[in-house]
Amino acid sequence: MNRMRSMLYLKDVVTLAYSPETCTGCGTCLQVCPREVLRRSNGKIEIALRDACIECGACQRNCPQGALTVKAGVGCASAIMNQMLGRKAACCGVDENCLS
């Protein structure tokens, strides 16, 4: 199992969306994504590992075409990360020690 696959957190909860119609295939999102969620495909990109996305928003902020959208900082990934950092955050219910 590769490293990213071992870091998946919950299935089918990520808000990441991709619009291939507006993507120019510039590759910027591939450079800024910290989780290898995206990969090249036929001159554009595709979402290869959706459940590894931590909804950080880097791809959305850096895409010059607005082809990627994600609700950064509001999802379950954010809640888990806030908990790991000792911050209070809305709980997604996945962890009994959530700090809500």
Binding site for ligand SF4 (CB under 6 A): 16, 23-29, 32-35, 37-38, 45, 53-59, 63, 65, 67-68, 70
Closer by beta carbon to ligand SF4, 63 or else 80? 63
Q: How far is residue 42 CA from its own chain's centroid?
A: 22
Residue 53 and residue 37 in contact, taking contact as beta carbons nearer than 8 Å: yes
SS3 content of the chain, % helix, strand, coil (to 5): 25, 10, 65
What minimum distance in Å lies between the beta carbon of 96 and ligand SF4? 26
Closer by beta carbon to ligand SF4, 5 or else 97? 5
